[in-house]
């Protein structure tokens, strides 16, 4: 009974946050939002209806990538801050082996400054959670979040899976609820598979890019997307027509979702904005959707998030396991239906609970390298 009362209290608080968020919407429109095709209306992925219910919250999402431009005005307000670290004192206050890891960590240079020296991670971070409704630049799918910047790839956007695994472990240890891995390699090595398993044990969802080689991932595995991990969602890229992007990798068994990933406008290094394309961008959309789900339901773990994302997917002929991302549909699965459903998916009522999708298949490969999908 006490557990039920605590859960009811948490849901009441979440509903109050939803009402406050919806009431404050559209106060300071982002000037480049009109150029973000994936966020227009409900057609691409149900963003408009989703935003009538919630636009984000105090949810930590780790962008494990090339780093993040920490000074970018569309990202700085949404940066995660390490509660155990005192900025600028030159001391490892929280005892995690990194000095002054205030907004994340750099596992390439082994320090607490995850500055982006490539630009890929900054672009991904903006898709997930650029500050929305602030009268500046663009919006992320989640307008409010806590972006944890974790640098595991170098200035050439390459690295190794052992370093990626360190980044995942850091994110989990410091409270991330969602981990975005917009990177690929031919093998996970033993470290990354173990790190993702540890994330599952900590109730953390992992979202991974399927790759940009137009390969069938069911036949030629790419990692971490092909890991046999129940808490992982593998994502490929779709274009403005809803078709599979020209370079996108796919797999009816190994790739879970398709999401908008072509010609995506987002944050760029140095404070600007740029277009990029690929499954990296598509994975970031799904991570943003997961942030909205976790904001709406603070009690939701990876199983509930993954179940809602896959269970609400729009039917498609694309070669993926579940379908196309429907953010509004996923929110309906965790919050219940109400007026103002996504027009695209309203006719297809969700069925079943929040259980996970079919188990993922494991494959073996040779070299545990990682890089931005090419």
Q: Bridge-partner residues for 221, per DSSP?
A: none
Q: Please report the pLDDT score of residue 219 as a whole number.
A: 96
Classified as helix, coil or strand, 249 is coil
Domain residue extents for the chain = 2-371
pLDDT digits (tens, 9 = 90+) for 148-195: 999 999 999 999 999 999 999 999 999 999 999 999 999 998 899 999
Do the Cβ atoms of 166 and 199 come closer than 8 Å?
no
**pLDDT value at residue 27:** 65
173's enclosing H/E stretch is helix 161-173
Catalytic residues: 65, 120, 280
- pLDDT score at 372: 77
pLDDT at position 24, please? 45
Residue showing tokens 């994340």: 104
- Rounded CA-CA distance 287/293 in Å is 10
For 108-160, the pLDDT digits (tens) are 999 999 999 999 999 999 999 999 999 999 999 999 999 999 999 999 999 99
Q: How far apart are CA 39 and CA 29, in angstroms?
A: 13
Residues in the chain predicted with pLDDT less than 50, given as ranges, are 1-26, 339-358, 361-367
Q: Give the angle 149-207-84 at the CA atoms, nearest 5°.
A: 35
Q: Tell me how many degrees the CA angle 17-130-149 measures, rounded to the nearest 5.
A: 100
CATH of domain 2-371: 3.40.50.200
Give me the pLDDT at residue 374, please: 59
What is the signed CA dihedral for 90, 93, 96, 97, rounded to 10 degrees? Answer: 30
CB of 206 closer than 8 Å to CB of 231? yes
Q: In what helix (H) or strand (E) does residue 165 lie, and over which residues does it extend?
A: helix 161-173
- The strand pairing partners of 104, in sequence order, are 149
């Amino acid at each position: 009974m006490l557990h039920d009362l605590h859960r009811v209290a948490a849901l009441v608080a979440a509903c109050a946050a939803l009402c406050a968020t919806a009431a404050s919407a559209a106060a300071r429109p982002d000037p480049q939002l009109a150029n973000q095709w994936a966020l227009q209306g409900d057609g691409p992925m149900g963003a408009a209806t989703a935003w009538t219910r919630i636009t984000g919250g105090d949810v930590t999402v780790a962008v494990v990538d090339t780093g993040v431009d920490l000074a970018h005005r569309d990202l700085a307000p949404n940066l995660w801050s390490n509660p155990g670290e005192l900025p600028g004192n030159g001391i490892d206050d929280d005892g995690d082996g990194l000095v002054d890891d205030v907004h994340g960590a750099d596992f390439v240079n082994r320090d607490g400054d995850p500055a982006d020296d490539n630009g890929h991670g900054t672009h991904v971070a903006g898709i997930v959670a650029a500050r929305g409704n602030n009268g500046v630049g663009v919006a992320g799918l989640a307008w409010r979040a806590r972006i944890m910047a974790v640098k595991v790839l170098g200035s050439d956007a390459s690295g190794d899976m052992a370093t990626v695994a360190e980044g995942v472990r850091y994110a989990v240890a410091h409270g991330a609820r969602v981990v975005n891995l917009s990177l690929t390699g031919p093998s996970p090595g033993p470290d990354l598979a173990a790190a993702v398993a540890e994330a599952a044990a900590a109730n953390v969802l992992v979202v991974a890019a399927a790759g940009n080689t137009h390969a069938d991932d069911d036949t030629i595995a790419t990692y971490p997307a092909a890991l046999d991990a129940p808490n992982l969602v593998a994502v490929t890229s779709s274009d403005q027509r809803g078709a599979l992007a020209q370079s996108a990798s796919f797999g009816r068994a190994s790739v879970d979702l398709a999401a908008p990933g072509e010609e995506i406008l987002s944050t760029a290094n140095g404070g600007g904005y740029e277009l990029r394309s690929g499954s990296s961008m598509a994975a970031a959309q799904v991570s943003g959707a997961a942030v909205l789900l976790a904001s709406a339901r603070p009690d939701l773990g990876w199983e509930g998030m993954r179940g809602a994302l896959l269970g609400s997917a729009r039917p498609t002929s694309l070669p993926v396991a579940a379908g196309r991302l429907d953010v509004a549909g996923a929110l309906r699965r965790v919050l219940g239906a109400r007026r103002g459903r996504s027009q695209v998916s309203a006719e297809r009522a969700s069925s079943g609970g929040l259980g996970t999708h079919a188990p993922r298949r494991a494959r073996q490969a040779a070299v545990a390298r990682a890089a931005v999908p090419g």
